[in-house]
Amino acid sequence: MSNQYPPGPPGGPYPGVPGVPGAAQYAGVQYPGAPGAAQYHGALGTPGAPAQPQYADLPQHARERLEGMRKTHFFTSDLSVNEFLLVKQAGFEPLGLVMGSSIYNINVRNPTNLGQYEPGRELEDVTRALYHARELAMTRMEEEADELGADGIIGVRMDVNLHAWGQSVAEFMAVGTAVRHAGGESYRNAQGKPFQSGLSGQDFWCLLRSGYRPVGFVMGNCVYYVRPEALIVPNDARNGELSPYTHCLYDARELAMERLQAEAEDVKATGIVGVEIEEKQHTWGAGGRGAQFLGGNAAKLYGETIEFFVFGTAVVPAETREPCPVPTMVIPAND
Amino acid sequence: MNQANPNRPQLALSDLSVTEFLTLSRMGFLPHGLVVGSAIYDAGWSNLSGRTQEVTSLSQAMRGARNVAVKRMRDQANKLGAEGVVGVRLQVEHHRWRGGHQVAKIVAIGTAVAYDGAHAAGDMKNAPSLHLRDGRPFTSALSGQDFVTLLRAGYRPVSIAVGCCVYELNGYGVWQYAQTGRNEEIAEFTQALFDARELAMERMTKDLFADHGLAGAHQAAGHPDAPVGVVGMKVSEQAHAGVNNVIEYTAIGTAVAHLQDGDPRRAARPPAPAIVVPLDR
């Protein structure tokens, strides 16, 4: 990925905009994830925040449910019938539906110390919080799969549920189906944990057939504040780019992508497939906290806060490779 | 089982799509009618405590209503001489009636199907019945295509499996956390909803085995209808009856068992997937 930021128009309103949002300027930020992820697995919250009670251990009913499934080989899964059969065809047995979640209090405060020509800035606390919430959910899901003796988790989905009972609260949830290789080959990752993959059963089968295997569900995010001045269309109403706004979104996206890549490099992946980019304003909505009073104009007064969330499945080439099957063309008769 | 099924009605309603109808009829399954079961349960609010905990009475009301609705649908299919019900959907509606009764209405709806030897393709003749051992028809939330794919792979649907849990959250607590202004996990609620979800899934399995008179999966060995797993499972969450801090979790899936030995519907070799490029776009 190129870090090259498109230069703004000459003589634009923000001549001082830093051109290249590189990793260097954020080197001091302790971003949970690669490479220092380990330190966050046990400790909730940001460093220095008061200690939180630990719920890393699974609830009692989770342990009961998993224990039952492990003993009797009775499985549950959210795989469709086609996915179920393809996973079996690929040599894996579904073991059970696994999930993890975390309910997180999210407080967005707009920065008050922006430089005169600074169009916006990353809200590092919020970035860290949203990442941490997802990481907690994923770790708990992994724990469930580990309990089942799984080799991996396929069809991982990362959902964000907003509940009406909490304005500043979001539930982050990871769901997937734990699988084990029927032949007893270990597909666990380098850390000895079950691999995670966001691919569907169909994609999982295709990937294995073409000589690759998933090693991890990788993600990166960035929460960015855009100041109100950057959103205002100039009075002369010419058609033109709002270059400060572009700059902010570009910067946010690149930061998220950079972190995604760093995570994939951390698990020694050769590539990431099925990458998706989501752009969201979770609990705070457009325009931040004042929005509910001001309707659509809130962003022009308070600025805008956006999260970019990118995720994908990191893959490595398998040791043994069969020739990739040639696709057949078909015209489906169903609609 | 080689001749026409005498139970088949002259005209049968169904909500099958054309593809579903054709794939099913090739296997010898013809629709016997749209079957519906419903139940209205009083699900009142007198049991809320203000604390973060399960609302046991509401969990049980929802469970009871679903079981009754599914049973009625199944009985109707049985009367039509059907072997099972495919494409079952469960719909839930909450109403507040005059006089203050808060009720939950559950409707189970699906298409009853039965085997007809005269309509089956040559290699599908003389297939054994898919009735459960106790004579009840099977139920399945799968589409017609999925049903056929499952049979070809050597499995059959047994029954839909449902589990639920209604959980109350202390509404005041959320406000408290919001005032702190910190970014951090709310462990109390994480724990509560995690627990509720696990309970719903656990109950789904327990009720499924209880439906066959088994105490659990450990007793299943040797039972002809013992499910080997649940496919197409969905865990949904919603505010119960529109009340924000009462959350209802529902886990629904289709339990599957192995086909009888020698059933011609099992493909001689497991269906081999091929990589295809669909040309419809």
B11-59 pLDDT, tens per residue?
888 888 888 898 898 888 999 999 999 999 888 776 788 888 899 989 9
User: Does the pLDDT at position A22 exceed 70?
Assistant: no
Question: What mean pLDDT, rounded, does chain B reach?
Answer: 87
Flag whether residue B178 sits within 8 Å of chain A, measured between CB atoms: yes
Residue B91 has pLDDT above 80, yes or no: yes
Q: Which of A41, A63, A65, A328 to mutate to test the interface with B (most CBs of B within 10 A)?
A: A65
Query: Looking at the predicted structure, is the pLDDT value of residue A10 above 60?
Result: no
Which residues, in sequence order, are bridge partners of residue B254?
Answer: B160, B231
**How far is it, in rounded angstroms, from Cα A31 to Cα A38?**
12
In the chain, the amino acid numbered B208 is: L
**pTM of this structure:** 0.80
Q: CB distance from A100 to chain B under 8 Å?
A: yes
For range A137-149, the mean pLDDT: 92
Q: What is the pLDDT of residues B192-237, one digit of tens each?
A: 888 899 999 999 999 999 988 888 777 777 788 889 999 988 888 8
For residue A229 the two structure tokens come to 């001045």
Q: What is the dihedral of CA A29, A33, A37, A42, to 10 degrees?
A: 100
The whole-number pLDDT of residue B277 equals: 81
CA angle B119, B122, B124 (to 5 degrees): 75
Query: Is 80 exceeded by the pLDDT of residue B166?
Result: yes
Range from A32-41, A91-100, B257-266 that averages highest in pLDDT: A91-100
A-to-B residue pairs, Cβ atoms closer than 8 angstroms:
202
B207/chain A closest Cα distance in angstroms: 13
Residues A272-276 have a mean pLDDT of 93
One DSSP character per residue, B105-138 reads: EEEEEEEEEEE-GGGS-GGGTTPPP---TTSPPE
Alpha-carbon gap, residue A19 to A5, rounded angstroms: 6
**d(CA B66, nearest CA chain A) in Å:** 20
| Integer Cα distance of B132 and B260 in angstroms | 11
> Measured between CB atoms, does A62 come within 8 Å of chain B?
yes
Chain B positions in Cβ-Cβ contact with residue A163 (cut-off 8 Å)? 239, 244, 247
Interface contact B229-A334, CB threshold 8 A = no
Give the Cβ contact number of residue A272 at 10 Å: 20
**Distance separating alpha carbons of residues A79 and B146, to the nearest angstrom:** 12
Look at A8-22, A124-138, B87-101, B196-210 and tell me which has the smallest mean pLDDT: A8-22
Q: Could you give the CA distance from residue A205 to residue A187 in angstroms, rounded to a whole number?
A: 14
Alpha carbon of B6: minimum distance to chain A alpha carbons (Å): 31
| B218/A contact by beta carbon, under 8 A | yes
Query: What are the beta bridge partners of residue A97?
Result: A177
Q: What is the mean pLDDT of residues B151-159?
A: 92
- B254: confidence class by pLDDT, cuts 50, 70, 90: very high
**Alpha helices in chain A, H assignment, sequence order:** 38-42, 60-72, 81-89, 124-147, 201-209, 243-266, 291-294, 298-302
Residue B83, classed as helix, strand or coil, is coil
In the Cβ-directed half-sphere of A221, how many Cα atoms lie within 13 Å?
A: 24
Residue B183 has its nearest CB partner, among A86, A125, A165, at A125
| Interface contact flag, B235 A102, Cβ < 8 Å | no
pLDDT of res. A40: 31
Q: Do A55 and B19 touch (CB under 8 A)?
A: no
Mutation for B interface: A77, A84, A87, most B CBs within 10 A = A84
Q: For residue A172, give the chain B residue with the closest CA.
A: B190
Q: Which residues of B touch A127 (CB under 8 A)?
A: none
Mutation to test the A interface, candidates B52, B162, B231, B235, most A Cβ within 10 Å: B231
Kindly give the pairing relationship between strand B29-42 and strand B102-115: antiparallel
**Does A140 score more than 60 pLDDT?**
yes
Check CB contact of B68 with chain A, cutoff 8 Å. Answer: no
- Please tell me the number of Cα atoms within 13 Å of A325 on its side-chain side: 14
Distance CA B201, CA B196 (A): 9
Q: 3-class SS at A135?
A: helix
Residue type, A52: Q
Cite the beta strand spans of B56-202 per DSSP E.
84-96, 102-115, 138-139, 155-168, 184-185
- Choose the closest CB to A103 out of B178, B189, B239: B189
Mean pLDDT throughout B166-195? 81
Closest Cβ opposite residue A77 in set B185, B227, B233: B233
- Measured distance CA(A321)–CA(B164) in Å, rounded: 45
ipTM of the shown complex:
0.79
Token pair 């109950």: residue? B203
* Interatomic CA distance for residues A237 and A221, integer angstroms: 34
Give the whole-angstrom CA distance, residue B257 versus residue A335: 30
What are the pLDDT digits (tens) for A209-234?
888 999 999 999 999 998 888 877 76
Looking at residue A67, its pLDDT comes to 81
In angstroms, the CA B238 to CA B252 distance is 14
Higher pLDDT, B277 or B199: B199
Q: What is the pLDDT of residue A231?
A: 78
> Taking residues A153-161, what's their average pLDDT?
92
- Which of A105, A108, A110, A203 would you mutate first to test chain B, the one with the most B CBs within 10 A? A105
Q: Does residue A35 have a cis bond before it (omega within 30 degrees)?
A: yes
- Which amino acid, B177? Y
